[in-house]
Every structure is written in structure tokens, then in C-alpha cells.
Structure 1
Amino acid sequence: MANMMGTKKHLLPKAQRFSAGTLTEESALALLKKHARGKFAKSSTLRSAKRFIEQRAGGDRADSDILHHVGNLTLEELVTGRRPRIGLLIVEGDLTVKGRYEDSLDPESVVIVTGSLRARDVITTGFLEVHGDLVASQSILFLDNDACCEVFGDVSAPFVYTNYHAVKVHGGVKARLVTGDAKHIRSAQKHAFIEETDPRVREVLSPKLLKVFADEVFEDEEGEEADPEAPWIDAIDAEKLAAFIRRGQPALAQPAAPRRRKK
């Protein structure tokens, strides 16, 4: 029972693991003391990580592991809630995910990256601390209100969406569209935020995503099509948005190619 995850090839074969006995409660706590820098939300990320280590050492959460990787790490995909589950991951270096990075709240996960985190898409509902930049080539979604994220560099992506998830950005937020819940994303530099009920949001979302949202977002109370000049009546469905992003789809329409000038 102590090594439930030992029979399956691990996603991070070079990492130290609690399940393999290469990490102990004491060494994991020492790593936290060395690498956890966050002060946001009264260090709830650190508290959650400590709580998980104590639970795991005490025999609870046996289906989730503690991992420590030294050096830059590149993965095809990282989903902490997928078996073998990851309860705590510390990467000393940059973490690059070619596809989707997704952490979880149920089961709860904590991820600390001492460099930058780059992915095609980022969906974070758990605790995430990034000491460099958080970068996505398509979308970043900050979802659910029981965890938080702290980024010491910049947050950069074409599309950034927040849904009651507390986010502290020490740098700037750089995106074509930042929408969702404005008050829960704080950055040291001002960034343009557009309310999700603003018609301008509809103009830049991809046609495929608009079809997903059509029934909830663009109809009035009588079921008639809403006036395109009027504000949206309903909010974006975060669960449908996340499901769309998980399929690897871009949330935004592709920018129109610039017209060539006639000679």
C-alpha cells in the first residue's frame, strides 16, 4: 500500500518522489522552506502545501504524490488530478508543457515553479506559485475561489479569464483579452480589462466558442436574440469554457490578416 503508484511509469521519472522513498516529510518541508516565496493571501499556498505533506506522511491522500524536480522540465501535458495524482510539485527551473497544464482543487494540488511556466493552455483551480513568468500561447483560465495563484513575473496569453480565483501578479498582465471577474486579479501594472457582458468580448471570441455559449449568453429572457448593441445579459459559463479549452481549441478568433496595399 505504501507504494501504490510505483507500478506505473511516472510522468517525471527523474524527480524525487515521496512514494519512492526519495523524499521524506522532513526533506519535503525543507524544500518548502527554501522555495516557497509567496506572501499572497497570507501564504495560503504554503499552508496548503504543509498540510498536504503532513496528511501524506500520516497515511492520508495515499493516491497523491510529492515530487521534486531539479532543472528545466519539458512535458507533453501535465494534469495534476490525473492518476498518478500530484499533490505537491516543486520544479527548480522552468516548466514547459507543450499542451495543457491543469492543476486541481479536488483533489487539491500545490505547484511551485522557481522559473517560468509556459504551456499552450493553463487551467488553474489549485494553488500555483510561479517565480518567473506565466505564459500560454492560447489561454489562461483562473477558476474557483478556494485556492490562489501568485506570479512574480508577467502573465502573458492571448486570452486571460478569471472566475472568483484570487491572482496576484507582481509584473503585468499582457493579453488581447482579459475578462471574467476583475476584482480577483491584481497586478503591479495596469492592464485593460473588459467585462464579460461587454459586446466587445463577443467580437473577439472564436466562432466555435460562440456556438458553445449561444443559448446561455446571447439570448434575452424571452428566448429572443439579444440586441447586438446591448450588453450581454448572462455571464460566461466557466465550466463550458474550460471544457472547450481542454479540447485544445483557441478561445479567440484569429486576427484578420492585414490587407496588402495596392501598388
Structure 2
Amino acid sequence: MIDHVRSYKKDQVSRAEVVTAVGRFRDDHKIRRVTAALDEIEDFTSDIWLVDHDLHVPGDLDLTQERAYLLVVLGGLVVGGVYGDSDHPESFLLVTGSMRARDVVTAGWLEVHGDLSTDRLIGDYNDCGAYIGGDVHARLFYGEHHHFTIGGALDANAVIGRPRLEVGTPPTVIEEDDLRMLDHFDRDLLRVFHDHDDDGNAITHVDGFRDFRELKRRVYAGLPFRAAETRDT
């Protein structure tokens, strides 16, 4: 369990406080879903956590591993390592301030009312979604099939694929069959084919990722997508 959180199951936070906190969610369906879960939470293996101020987690924060169904941070969130969540079992994060993490892999419900700053922002599957009220700053953004709503600007050095994205100014993207993928990912992460044209000249083709699980593994391990890259630790 991370420090400085109050637990619903340990009677450190009341039902009324949880209801008030989740009322800050932007989407009504999240409010209804989490409120309904309060009647069943004792049967869950996960808990509901509330932080009344800014939260700094020095290492990784994975809601599934922490067994957190819901984490509400009434302030800003800083994660020194990678932030992760899940769609099965479903998890929710609500940050009323801004959020910063080394990397982010989100499959669950992620809601940040301020800015989100990270090195790599990776979406995972399409059951849930992410809402960022402010700007998103990332070196690389790959939304996969996850849905993202960004209230401010998307500032990313590289946007991969065609993300399911609502944002004021749509970004310029690098398609998954674009040779520029080789500028950002090792060949063993990609499906790369070699051919020849009618004149016998060698041609290289890229057809997306070989294994998305390996992509996520590198993020969680803090490893670069290209061996030539160096990463701050």
C-alpha cells in the first residue's frame, strides 16, 4: 500500500467522503459506476483510496498490483516510475491537479484535470478511456485502441498510429506502416519485411508491431524502444 492514503475498507474514509470525491469525475457514468460499487466493495479484492493532498510515489504505481479499485488524489500526482492501470479488473484514477510520471500505460479509467507530463504515453485496449483536462506533454504517444480526450494541447515528439483521440488540434501522426517507425522502435518490435522492386532494388516494408506485450514490457522495465536511445533514470 502506498503511503499517505486513506482506505475505505479500513474505515479510514467514509462513504460520504467517497461519494463527494467521485462527484468530481467529469463523466456521469464513472460517478454511477463507482457509487454503485460501494455496495459491493467488501466482496472485491481491491480497495478505494483517498489522498487529501499532493501525492508523490518514488517508484512505480500500478493500481492492479496495489489492489486499488479507485484512487482519488485531491491535488497533483507525481510517479517516479511507470504508472499503470487495468480494464480487467477495472480500475479508476482521479487526479484533481496535474500528473507527472516517467511513463504511463493506461488500460483503465484515467482522469487528470490538469496537465499530464510523461516520456511515453501508451494506451491499452478499448474498454475504458482517458480524460486529460489540460495539456499532454510526451516524447512518444501511442494510443493503440484506447480512447483519449484532451482538453488542452497535445505536445508530443511522435504520435504513432491513428489514436482514438478527441483534441482541439489533431496531431500529425506516423502510421504504423511508415518507415519512420524504424526511427523510434527496434526492428525486433516491428513486423519488418524485405522485398525487391521491378528493377531489383531492395525495399523495406513495416507493418506495425510484432508483439504489443513486448512494447509494454519495455515500458514497465524502463527500457528504451530503440537500443540506441539513452534514458534518464
Q: Shorter chain as normaliser: what TM range?
A: 0.7 to 0.9
> TM-score, with normalisation over the residues of structure 2?
0.87
Equivalent residue of 1:163, what SS?
coil
Aligned partner (choices 207, 218, 229) of residue 233 of structure 1: 207
Mapping of residues 115-134 of structure 1, within 5 Å: 115-134=97-116
Extract unaligned runs of 5+ from structure 2. Answer: 196-201
Cα distance change on mapping 1:52 and 1:251 into 2, 3 Å: farther
- Cα separation, partners in 2 of 1:251 and 1:25, compared to 1, 3 Å: same
Which residue of structure 2 lines up, in the alignment, with residue 210 of structure 1? 187
2:8 aligned with 1:18, yes or no? Answer: yes
Residue 145 of structure 2 corresponds to residue 168 of structure 1: no
* Superposition RMSD in Å: 2.1
Which residue identity lines up with residue 187 of structure 1 in the other structure?
V
How far did residue 156 of structure 1 move? Answer: 1.1
**Secondary structure class of the residue paired with 2:2:** coil
d(CA) in 1 for partners of 2:29, 2:116: 19
CA-CA distance at 1:16 after TM superposition: 1.8
- Separation (CA, whole Å) in 1 of partners of 2:70 and 2:157: 32
Structure with the largest fraction of helix: 1
Q: Retained in 2: the 8 A contact 1:52–1:88?
A: no
Give the match for residue 88 of structure 1.
Answer: 70
Distance 1:188 1:235, change over 3 A: same
Q: CA deviation at 1:27?
A: 2.6
With the length of structure 1 as denominator, give the TM-score of the two structures: 0.78
- 1:151 corresponds in structure 2 to 132
Match of 1:246 among 210, 220, 227: 220
**Which protein is richer in strand relative to its size?**
2
Q: Percent identity?
A: 28
Other structure's SS at 2:117 match: strand
Q: Does 1:46 align with 2:23?
A: no
8 Å Cα contact 2:79/2:101 also seen in 1: yes
**Paired residue for 2:169?**
189
Q: How does 1:70-89 map to 2 (within 5 A)?
A: 70-76=52-58, 77-83=60-66, 85-89=67-71
**CA deviation after TM superposition for structure 1 residue 50, in Å:** 2.5
What CA deviation, in whole Å up to 9, does each residue of 1:48-74 have, x standing for no partner? Answer: 323433320xx321x211011011110
Q: Could you tell me how far apart the structure 1 residues matched to 2:39 and 2:214 are?
A: 35
**How big is the shift at 1:234?**
4.0
Aligned length: 222
